[in-house]
Amino acid sequence: MNWKERGIVIRQDTQFPYGETSRITITQGKGEFTLQVRYPGWVKPGQFAIKVNGQTVSIVTGPSSYVSIDRKWKKGDVVDITFPMYNSVKYLPNEPQYIALMHGPILLGMKTGTEDLAHLIADDSRFGQYAGGKKLPIDQAPMLINDNIEDIANQLQPVAGKPLHFTLTTKMENAIRNELMPFFEIHDARYMMYWLALSEQSYKSYLDNLARQEQERQALEARTVDKVQPGEQQPETDHKMETDRSQVGNTNDVFFRDARDGHYFSYLMQTGGQTELSLRLKYWGVGDWKTHEFDIMVDDVLVKEVNNTGKYRVSEFKYETYPIPADLLKGKQQVRVKFVAKPGKQIGEIYEVRLVK
């Protein structure tokens, strides 16, 4: 750091994150000022240490704060900082059964395979910006089993000669036995960085339920010819959305698009040349105070008048499927699907649009 106004130059040397120390040296100039040294939140209380020219600095603050060193500084003064890192478990905020494993502030991941990576490189084809390749069933992913989830952090064994690499010794369902390593070191590979972590008692029933859900999800994907996530920029751009006036929002972190009083939005969707297709829409069940009335148009032909007002009355997502007449699809590779609110009414928040076989 070149502090030109004071004629002071400060240099920092560290092997972080592969080392747990840092050295700050006054390499030019002198003067009185306060040096604020960050006390990271990932260092345990009482383990952070600072020395100035070999003399220990008294620390009265704790993690996630600063240590103030106010003195007359001169060229050659040295500040040595020690910040021991330890392993910890972090819970995914919206899915607390999933954890990440950390060493200090460093997220650890594990390579799980390099098969079927031909589509890692984006090209200029339609949807070429998306990673492709075979999708593996989530219920067959590695799963950590321990009656004390926090104790999993204590079951990481360092790999000799490989800083920040660990073997994971806790019990693992669908086990893989590769090394944990800093996530930033992982390239061109499948990987795990969020792990499902369950107790012995709960993991079997959870796995059965997960397998059933995954089977249903994959069956739906196999039937899907095209899909759009309303309210998300890239999917709507990819499907050439048109609208005269509509709104976006989200419920439970799932985005939607809506329109009112005769206004509309529409998407250009691929049919794959098929003629036996239906439109599958995703709604949110609660909304007795709203009037959910709208028309579904395919290439400007009315397919369905929908009235969902007061239909569900539950706080969960609901799905409806509407057949599309074959004559509207015959000889077409794509169609424009439009949603038009009735006058004085609203569509009622559409969270997903699929063309399904």
Give the pLDDT band of residue 204 (cuts 50, 70, 90). confident
Q: How many domains does the chain have?
A: 3
Convert the pLDDT of each residue in 94-131 to its tens digit.
Answer: 888 899 999 999 999 999 988 877 777 778 877 677 76
Assess whether 184 and 277 both reside in one domain: no
Tell which of 82, 108, 139 closes a domain: 82
CA distances (Å), 332 to each of 23, 126, 246, 270, in order?
Answer: 68, 17, 28, 9
CB of 73 within 8 A of CB of 10?
Answer: no
Assess whether 242 and 341 both reside in one domain: yes
Percent above pLDDT 70 for the chain: 98
Assess whether 230 and 349 both reside in one domain: yes
Assess whether 253 and 342 both reside in one domain: yes
Domain contains 106 = yes
Give the pLDDT band of residue 288 (cuts 50, 70, 90). low
Can you give the pLDDT at residue 141?
A: 87
| CB burial readout 15-25, b (16+ within 10 A) else e | ebeeebebebb
Domain contains 310 = yes
Mapped onto helix, strand or coil, the DSSP state of residue 160 is coil
Assess whether 49 and 116 both reside in one domain: no
Q: CATH number of the domain at 287, please.
A: 2.60.120.260
Residue-range definition of the domain harbouring residue 50: 2-82
Tell which of 36, 67, 82 closes a domain: 82
Q: CATH number of the domain at 8, please.
A: 2.60.40
Domain contains 112 = yes
Convert the pLDDT of each residue in 158-194 to its tens digit.
Answer: 999 999 999 999 999 889 889 999 999 999 888 999 9
Assess whether 154 and 230 both reside in one domain: no
Assess whether 54 and 77 both reside in one domain: yes
Domain contains 218 = no
Query: Measured between alpha carbons, how far is 188 from 83 in angstroms, rounded to an integer?
Result: 32
Assess whether 117 and 177 both reside in one domain: yes
Assess whether 92 and 61 both reside in one domain: no
Domain contains 114 = yes
Query: Measured between alpha carbons, how far is 356 from 29 in angstroms, rounded to an integer?
Result: 72
Q: Beta strands 65-74 and 55-56: pairing type? A: unpaired
Query: Measured between alpha carbons, how far is 316 from 93 in angstroms, rounded to an integer?
Result: 20
Cis peptide before 17 (omega within 30 of 0): yes
Residue 304, token pair as written in the block: 């369905």
Domain contains 236 = yes
CB of 112 within 8 A of CB of 176?
Answer: yes
Assess whether 188 and 242 both reside in one domain: no
For residue 308, the Cα-to-chain-centroid distance in whole angstroms is 32
Could you tell me the pTM of the whole model? 0.61
Which runs of E-coded beta strand occur in 185-300? Answer: 190-192, 195-198, 224-228, 242-243, 247-251, 254-258, 264-270, 278-284, 293-298
Domain contains 55 = yes
Assess whether 55 and 114 both reside in one domain: no
CB of 27 within 8 A of CB of 75?
Answer: yes
Which single residue is written with the structure tokens 């070149």?
A: 2
| Residue 146, CB-side half-sphere exposure with 13 Å CA sphere | 21
Convert the pLDDT of each residue in 306-352 to its tens digit.
Answer: 999 888 888 889 999 999 999 999 999 999 999 999 999 999 899 99
Assess whether 169 and 138 both reside in one domain: yes
Q: Among 350, 338, 354, which residue's Cα sits nearest to residue 270?
A: 354
Residue 244 identity (one-letter amino acid) = D
